[in-house]
Amino acid sequence: MMRRPFTTRQTLGILLCVLGVQQADAQALDDSTAPGWRFSVTPYFWMAGLKGDVGAFSALPPSSIDVSFADIFSHLDGLPAFVAGEAWHGQWGLLGDVEYLTLKANASTPGPQFSGATLKQWNFNSTLAGAYRVVDAPQVSVDAFVGTRIFYVDNRIDLSAAAIPSRSASLGDTWANAIAGARVNAPLPDGFLFNAYADVGGFGISSDWTWQIYGGVGYRFKSWLTAYAGYRYLDVHHRDGGFLYDVHEQGPQLSARISF
């Protein structure tokens, strides 16, 4: 299944359609007893390293990639986009997250017939979930949620010639995983906050799994502005014919939540 990468216009359209969705800051809006709707938008940057196996050739073994988060800036190909958002009414909420980035890095060759391999990957994922605040106390709040995570990944692998001529292949796939999870938020002294998040999805359907965890601290500068720093880990396994995406991403995440 050959797919072309998203154009800039398509990417912006997706961001506008899905904005208002889930996860990055893992911090709920404050007062579930306040009347009416409460909203937040959270732009963020996730300095995620990438490690695992990717495939674009049905007749060849997958290639391995290992990029640390310290090297992520040198492997970005174009400007990434990360944004999250929330909408709450009483104890019920809608959470979401949208990510898009393009990476380019060296990969392992699928055999001794080639002298080198280069991977270019277009990576989009979005999570949309409905939430309910199961604990709402001054000392801690706990939100439970269920939803879906949608992935689009396109792997282009260029193999350099050695025993046989060079070749290239591009193979992409789009899939969705049901997810369930929870997050915890607790105030700390002097305007600081603690937050943690975890979810799991896929549940082994069609050999798919995905799960992630996040933990961090925040500081409230204004009633409408809070900054966060944390660490996030995302694991994804998906195979469809010759397409393989079996990787984990992890690294520091910085974000700023704007509430209104």
> Is residue 248 in some structural domain?
yes
pLDDT at position 27, please?
A: 41
In a domain, 110, yes or no: yes
Residue 2 covered by a domain: no
pLDDT, averaged across the chain? 84
Overall number of domains in the chain: 1
Distance CA 247, CA 254 (A): 22
pLDDT classification of 32: cutoffs 50, 70, 90: low
Q: What pLDDT, on a 0 to 100 scale, did the predictor assign at position 102? A: 92
Query: What CATH number did the domain enclosing 167 receive?
Result: 2.40.128.90
d(CA 82, CA 59): 35
Q: Above 50 in pLDDT, residue 62? A: yes
Express each pLDDT in 187-233 by its tens digit.
999 999 999 999 999 988 766 899 999 999 999 999 999 999 999 99
Taking residues 14-22, report their average pLDDT.
38
**H-state helical runs in the chain:** 8-18, 72-75
Residue 191 has a CB neighbour count (10 Å cut-off) of: 11
DSSP 124-185: EEEEEEEEEEEEE-SS-EEEEEEEEEEEEEEEEEEEEESSS--EEEEEEEEEEEEEEEEEEE
Q: Provide the domain limits for residue 38.
A: 8-259
Is 7's pLDDT higher than 70?
no
Instruction: For residue 233, tell me if it sits in a domain.
Output: yes
DSSP-derived 3-state class of residue 109? coil
Please report whether residue 243 resides in a domain.
yes
- Mean pLDDT lowest for which of 31-35, 72-76, 86-90, 134-138? 31-35
HSE (side-chain half, CA atoms, 13 Å) at 222: 7
15 lies in a domain?
yes
Radius of gyration, alpha carbons of the chain: 20
Residue 3 lies inside a defined structural domain of this protein: no
Q: Report yes or no on 190 lying in a domain.
A: yes
Over pLDDT 90: what percentage of the chain?
A: 57
pLDDT above 70: residue 169: yes
Looking at the chain, how many residues does it have? 260
pLDDT at 1: 41
**Widest pairwise Cα distance in the chain:** 70
Using CA atoms of 181, 66, 84, 77 in order, give the dihedral in degrees to the nearest 10: -160
Among 23-27, 98-102, 239-243, the minimum mean pLDDT is found in 23-27
Report residue 15's pLDDT band, with 50, 70 and 90 as the boundaries: very low
